[in-house]
Amino acid sequence: MLVSGTGTNLQALLDTVHEREAQVVAVASNAAAAPALQRAEERGVPSAVFARGDYADRRERDVAMAGWLAERGARLVVLAGYMELLRPDFLSRFPDAVINVHPSLLPAFPGIDAIGQALAYGVKVFGVTVHFVDEGVDTGRVILQRAVELPAARDQDEVLSALRPLEHSLLPEAVRMFARGELPADPGAG
Ligand code: GRF
């Protein structure tokens, strides 16, 4: 798992699939202060911090982070609020096995502040996407999506509290699919 922040999605995985259909073997963060690290510690999951400033460049950091995860036996890398792009050197280490959860119906509203973007646009249907990660910003193939109609939504907190439960159910579902070998194959590969 890769985290940068609060870690409610990490918690959802720890509370559902962990030690059942899948094993959360390691949690890496780019931010030492991420409360998500505490959640990993409480469940006895090894964690480590890979701060950008501790490495010569992002590539070196990503290579070290990928190596650490691979050594711990990670087969799927789940981004749960990880706030940096990953270098190709990282992605090539886990082909078709890096996924992210994003609080919009992609390809609408990629990047930061997806909910703010959607509110500014005045959308009436919000949603959540779990998708494969590529080198772009929230551009990889979609795995799962769920929508919710909020025709009168005005503020971020209201949308966030409607979307959080969707994230917390969709992300574990995608991990279960991976464990069963059911994630959709890349139509462009092979
Ligand atoms: C979630 O809204 C997720 O969609 C986005 O970052 C947030 C992470 O929240 N990518 P948490 O740290 O899992 O609570």
Amino acid at position 28, single letter: A
3-state DSSP assignment of residue 178: helix
DSSP label at residue 185: P
State the number of CA atoms in the 13 A half-sphere of 175 facing the CB.
31
78 falls within a domain: yes
Q: Which atom of ligand 1 is nearest to the CA of 160?
A: 2
Question: How far is ligand 1, taken at its centre, from the CA of residue 22, in Å?
Answer: 20
Contact 47, 41 (CB under 8 A): yes
- pLDDT tens track for 112-133: 999 999 999 999 999 999 999 9
186 falls within a domain: no
152 falls within a domain: yes
184 falls within a domain: no
- pLDDT tens track for 12-44: 999 999 999 999 999 999 999 999 999 999 999
Positions in the chain short of pLDDT 50: none
Residue 187 pLDDT: 78
Q: E-strand spans in 30-185? A: 47-49, 77-79, 98-102, 125-132, 142-149
Rounded distance between C-alpha atoms, residue 99 and residue 1, angstroms: 10
190 falls within a domain: no
Residue 143 pLDDT: 98
Q: Whose CA is nearest to atom 9 of ligand 1?
A: 81
Residue 184 pLDDT: 78
Residue 89 pLDDT: 95
Question: How far is ligand 1, taken at its centre, from the CA of residue 9, in Å?
Answer: 6
Q: Which atom of ligand 1 is nearest to the CA of 6?
A: 12
Among 75, 76, 18, 12, CA closest to 45: 18
Rounded distance between C-alpha atoms, residue 175 and residue 69, angstroms: 16
Question: How far is ligand 1, taken at its centre, from the CA of residue 127, in Å?
Answer: 13
Q: How many CB atoms lie within 10 A of CB 21?
A: 14
Residue 121 structural domain? 2-179
Active site residue 18: no
First to last CA, the chain: 27
Q: Which atom of ligand 1 is nearest to the CA of 9?
A: 13
Give Cα 185 to chain centroid, integer Å. 19
185 falls within a domain: no
Number of domains in the chain: 1
Residue 190 pLDDT: 59
Question: How far is ligand 1, taken at its centre, from the CA of residue 91, in Å?
Answer: 20
State the number of CA atoms in the 13 A half-sphere of 19 facing the CB.
5
Rounded distance between C-alpha atoms, residue 37 and residue 32, angstroms: 8
Ligand 1 interacting residues, C-beta cut-off 6 A: 5-10, 36, 80-81, 101-103, 167
Q: E-strand spans in 36-166? A: 47-49, 77-79, 98-102, 125-132, 142-149
Pocket test for ligand 1, best of 101, 131, 142, 160 (most atoms within 8 A of CB): 101
Domain CATH for 32: 3.40.50.170
Q: Which atom of ligand 1 is nearest to the CA of 12?
A: 13
188 falls within a domain: no
Which of 18, 102, 131, 168 does the annotation list as catalytic?
Answer: 102
187 falls within a domain: no
